[in-house]
Structures are given as structure tokens and as C-alpha cells.
Amino acid sequence: MIRESYSRKAFVMFNYVFLTLLSLTMLIPFVHILAGSFSSGPAIMQGKVTVLPVGFTLENYQAVLSNWGIWKSFGVSVYVTVFGTVLNLLFTSLMAYGLAKKDLKGRSFIMILIVLTLIFQVPIVPAYLLVKSLGMLNTLWSLIIPGLISGFNLIIMISFFQNIPEGLTEAAKIDGCNEYRTWWSIVMPLSLPSLSTIGLFYAVGHWNSYFNAIMYIRDPGLFPLQVKLRQLLVESDTESMMQAASLTLQSIEGIRMATIIVATLPILVVYPLIQKHFVKGAMLGSVKG
């Protein structure tokens, strides 16, 4: 039995304490917002709310959930997140499957181009003109197509595919499977951890998408939830919500906090469901056997 030295134990204990405190600095602001969303307007305005609700009330959530604009933007974000993530995974896995083959002609040149997309970002004006020329302005396609394949996620998936034993794909070809059948029936089922990891990256990106919507969308009916949230936080677009719920001006901050929680909750609910695959996928794609 190997005993740890005193210095080693002290180092481990220091790490636990430091990481715990660091986690609290990230968690406390969210707990404060959560507490404020259940607190009365006067308590928030007087600075009485810390990490526990003061003057518990559900009026803030009533104002948020009774606003049709919030629900419409929520639906837009759900549609873009779900449909966009499915397309992201489909095209990323197809491209990664081809680039995982080392005998692919031009593979090195294509990989260089992919790495360049990680170093140099597309300028705003050319990106806007490209989306305009494709007829995607003021459509939800403008929130999906420009980021259809992420270079970072593509490299992760290529690394994962290269870890799959070649004997499996060769056996599938001997049994008469073509490349597409091998990709769908053999490679994809084995790639669930990697797909879960990359799918979460894509989903969070779509859900938090803000800049593309501001740049490409003009119809308020197509605004995703994050843009609607900005209107509430920055432009003080809360009068209609307060009137619908018969609230006073003192409830503005509470409504804003409730809106933040509503916008954040879906991702917090989804992550625990795929956490096991997420951790496994993040490790499998990083080391080659």
C-alpha cells in the first residue's frame, strides 16, 4: 500500500478548497438571480435579497409566462436548437468520417483549411453579404447554415472516428456495406459519447445565439429568446408584461430575473441527462490508441 506524503495530501486539500471557493463564485450570482425571481419588487429595490427569496411571490413568473412574445421567442429558440443541432451533427459526422481516412486524397490540404477557420474569423461584412446573396436574410436558416460545421467540433469527431478499430469497418465492407451504410450502421452507434459531447456544444451555441439574430433577423416574430431577453434587460421592454400581470414599476427587476431563469433552465435540465456521455466523449476524442 502506497502512502501519500504530507505535502501531497496538503496539495490535494488545497485544490479541493480552492476549486470549491471558485465554484461558489460562479454559483452565487445564479442563486442570487434565482432568489430575486421569487422575491417581491420592493425587497429587490431595497437590496434585501441575497441568496434567499424575500417576500416570496410568483408574480414575476406569472408576468413572464403570460407574455406571448416570450413564448414565441422560446419556440423559435427551441426550433433552432433542436433542428440546428440535428443538422450540425449530421454534416459534421459525415465530413469527419471522410477526413478520418488517412488515404483520402487532399486530406492534408483540407485539414489546413479547417485549422485556418479556427485562427481567422470571417469578417462581419462579407458574412452578411454572403447570407444576403443566398436569400437567407430574415429567415431562421440564417441562424443555422452559417455555423453548420464547427472546425473545433469537427476535429474532435475526426479524432474519435480514428480511434474506432479499422477491423469493424472492414468487416462491414466485406458483408456488403457501402460507405454510407458503414457510417450509419457501424460508426454512428459507436459514436454516441462523441455525438453527445459535440451535440451539447452545438445546442448551447444555438440556444445562446444572439449576434447572428441581431445581424440577420429583422422580423420581431423570428427573434430567438436571447434577443427577447436583451429587449427586457437593456431596452426596458417590460411595460406590457407588468400591465398584463397588474404589477408596479417596482417589479421590473424581478421580472428580468425571472426571464433570465426561464432562458437558462432548459440547458440546465438537459445537461444532467447526457452528463455521463459528455464526460466519456470528451475523454475518448482526446487520446489516440
| 228-243 confidence digits (pLDDT tens) | 887 776 655 555 555 5
Q: Which CATH number fits domain 67-284: 3.30.465.10, 1.10.3720.10, 3.40.50.970, 3.20.170.30?
A: 1.10.3720.10
Helix ranges, 120-251 (H):
124-133, 151-162, 166-174, 179-182, 188-190, 192-207, 211-216, 225-233, 239-245
Alpha carbon distance 268, 272 (integer Å): 7
Residues 6+ apart with CB under 8 A from 116: none
Q: Is the pLDDT of residue 2 over 60?
A: no
Alpha carbon distance 111, 104 (integer Å): 11
| Domain layout of the chain by residue ranges | 67-284
C-beta of residue 278 within 8 angstroms of C-beta of residue 271:
yes
C-beta of residue 140 within 8 angstroms of C-beta of residue 76:
yes
- The total of other beta-carbon atoms located within 10 Å of residue 166's CB is 9
| Model pTM score | 0.79
pLDDT band, very low/low/confident/very high, at 84 (cuts 50, 70, 90): very high
Alpha carbon distance 236, 252 (integer Å): 8
The phi, psi pair for 31, rounded to 5°, reads -65, -40
CA 56 from chain centre, in angstroms, equals 31
User: pLDDT exceeding 70 applies to what percent of the chain?
Assistant: 86
